[in-house]
Structure 1
Amino acid sequence: MNSTGLGPADTLPAQGSGARPGRNLQVLPDSVDWRALGKVTSVKDQGNCGACWAYAAAAAIESAYLIARPSVSAADVDMSEQQLVSCVNAANGNWTSRGCDGGWSDEAINYSVSTPLLTEARYPNTPGAPRCRANLVRTSPAGTFVRLATGASRVPPGSELSLMQAVALQPVVVYFSVSPEFHAGGLYTGGGCTNLVNHA
């Protein structure tokens, strides 16, 4: 099992795999704190499942939903990471993600364009990566899911300006390198970072 949960071999899928170039802002704000604006949901624990990619994607989708619907509170938004772990899976179609053995957030976000992402209450977390419950997805009533209008965009590696532009629009998924020691809490300031990414 991939202990952190990024994709197989920790190499990013090709740019043509569904990720699109992001929008550019001509004028950047001096700062933006999406947490203070109430557009970031609570931190969740992926447990022993290497699905950081799904948790990061669900959090980005939750934030996009909150930005699009200003009257909704972050406490009221909880999308299903389990649906992403189980359904955005190499066993279920044209995905490279492998459930609890790693995956890519852009695949999960792009899945949520074509398939409704259910709430955690409707599609609850189950240990491991059980089979996709596609029938539940197809038969869910309004109010128990969101569907994205657009898919994932990719920020060019090493482009701080592009990253600032993306963050000015909404919270983003970031891949980074962590050391083998597990982090207990707070800000991660691990040394020895490399260009190889293994966590989202």
Structure 2
Amino acid sequence: MKIILFSTLLIVWVLYEADCTETQGNIAKAYLKYLQDEGKLGESPQNLKTRYQLFKNNIRMINEHNSKQSSFKLGINKFSDLSDKELSQFHGLNSSLLQDEEDLLSSSPSLPVSVPDTVDWVAQGYVTPAKDQGRCGSCWAFGSVVALEGSHKKATGVLKNFAEQEYLDCVFTTRDGCTGGATHVCFDFNKNTGHMASQTSYPYTATDVDRSECDLTKFKNSLISGKVTGRVTSRHIETEENTVKLLSLQPVTLFIEATRTLHQYKEGILMDQTCWSQTNHAVAGVGYTPQYIIVKNSWGASWGESGFFKLMRGWSNCGLYISAQYPVVELTGEEETEEGAQPALYDHSAIVGPDPPKPDPDCSNQFGDSYCDRMSRASCHNPQMREVLCRKACNNCWIF
């Protein structure tokens, strides 16, 4: 007890030494409370000043954003005193692996002509509660599992809570899955092995230290009444319209650029103006409304809106519309022997603040049309994509 008290007093002294003004002193008190709430009081004094500066920078960003008219709010959370390098540990999409994608098991999506105005797979019981990948770059496993759970529910009527750790241990045999991966190999693994355990029998450990630990005989197979027979991959759907059409069919794996703004997201309809569509994070689309896309993340239920977030429609959304994947699940004819998993409860109907401003095509653009056109040509695949990525707003040219 005395050691804990001494450590706490030492932390307070270090913070107040860094900031002796009244305003900064209040931030120091807020950071001490943050350390207590997040269980970070064990941080060494050597690192404390650096983390405190990161915390102050995030406080400044959050307060500045929340003071403006906006469709979303930011907030303090477990990411608020981490560096950019540390934040990358909570991503994990390896784009170089996507370039080597094997298409033998893949088919192009058959998109419906018309779709409902609103689709909510969470409310329909196709989605399990939010999970937490921890400090392991395993978003690719979590994003894949959401799509697999949705495909299995669609084919069999049973929602399973599948094990991300099986992907971590078994998909990559020569590299550490916590350093990143790709989603298509997960569905190919399920097809080739016919195996996927439940999270109950194969708990998540956020580690992939020993690549020789893949022994499927140790874990009961939960692919009973349904089996993976292939996957649907759309590498360059490039439009919000096609993404929505895919989402009308079932939950799908999507990719996004996870920015500091996304890390500090708290609630509302996110319109991130800080990204460049350089995707580094796998997530899952689980529905949509006329205003936004519903996305399930893998940063735990305490982050965002119960682990989910809403992305505004009508914007590029940090590369979310570039690619989509899901596995094809067909019935095996075997009788299901396991009970279904508990579905997520997420009421996404609340909208923070007024509708966001739309770009005015007649307003002035301080960067100039030539700059905007040049930047968009360098970062897009075709004229249709350029129109989405390059948006004018008064005195700004937003390039996503």
Do the two structures share a fold, i.e. TM-score over 0.5? yes
Q: Who is 1:110 aligned against?
A: 188
Cα distance in 2, alignment partners of residues 69 and 193 from structure 1: 39
* C-alpha spacing 1:156/1:103, structure 2 compared with 1 (3 Å): same
Greater RCO (Cα-Cα under 8 Å, separation 6 or more): 1
Q: Please, what is the CA RMSD of the aligned residues?
A: 2.7
Displacement of 1:121: 1.9
Displacement of 1:160: 2.4
Cα distance in 1, alignment partners of residues 218 and 153 from structure 2: 24
* C-alpha spacing 1:132/1:179, structure 2 compared with 1 (3 Å): same
Q: Who is 1:20 aligned against?
A: 107
Q: Who is 1:154 aligned against?
A: 234
- Which of 91, 95, 119 lines up with 2:198 in the alignment? 119
Q: Who is 2:125 aligned against?
A: 38
Cα distance in 1, alignment partners of residues 221 and 206 from structure 2: 27
> Is the deviation greater in 77-86 or in 22-31?
22-31
* C-alpha spacing 1:126/1:90, structure 2 compared with 1 (3 Å): same
Displacement of 1:80: 0.7
> Which residue identity lines up with residue 118 of structure 1 in the other structure?
A
Q: Who is 1:88 aligned against?
A: 171
* 1:175 aligns to 2:286 (yes or no): no
* C-alpha spacing 1:82/1:50, structure 2 compared with 1 (3 Å): same
Partner SS state of residue 147, structure 2: helix
> Which residue identity lines up with residue 272 of structure 2 in the other structure?
G
Cα distance in 1, alignment partners of residues 248 and 235 from structure 2: 13
Query: Can you list the C-alpha shifts for 1:129-186, whole angstroms capped at 9, x where unaligned?
Result: 1435443x24655547663122242252412232122111111111011214633644
> Is the deviation greater in 109-118 or in 151-160?
151-160
Q: Who is 1:94 aligned against?
A: none
Displacement of 1:5: 0.8
> Is the deviation greater in 124-133 or in 144-153?
144-153
* 1:101 aligns to 2:179 (yes or no): yes
In structure 1, stretches of 5+ residues that fail to align are: 92-96
* C-alpha spacing 1:142/1:19, structure 2 compared with 1 (3 Å): closer
* 1:65 aligns to 2:149 (yes or no): no
Query: Can you list the C-alpha shifts for 1:78-137, whole angstroms capped at 9, x where unaligned?
Result: 11101111211151xxxxx740111111221221111211111222212311435443x2
Displacement of 1:41: 1.0
Give percent identity, aligned residues only: 25
> Which residue identity lines up with residue 160 of structure 1 in the other structure?
E
* C-alpha spacing 1:139/1:179, structure 2 compared with 1 (3 Å): closer
Displacement of 1:58: 0.7
Give the TM-score taking structure 2 as reference length. Answer: 0.43
In structure 2, stretches of 5+ residues that fail to align are: 1-85, 283-400
- The answer (yes or no) to whether the contact 2:169–2:211 under 8 Å persists in 1 is yes
Give the TM-score taking structure 1 as reference length. Answer: 0.80
Displacement of 1:30: 2.4
Query: Can you list the C-alpha shifts for 1:38-90, whole angstroms capped at 9, x where unaligned?
Result: 111111000000110100101110111112222x3x4xx21110111121115
Which is strand-richer, 1 or 2?
2
Which is helix-richer, 1 or 2?
2
* 1:196 aligns to 2:278 (yes or no): yes
* C-alpha spacing 1:55/1:28, structure 2 compared with 1 (3 Å): same
* C-alpha spacing 1:132/1:122, structure 2 compared with 1 (3 Å): farther
> Which residue identity lines up with residue 168 of structure 1 in the other structure?
S
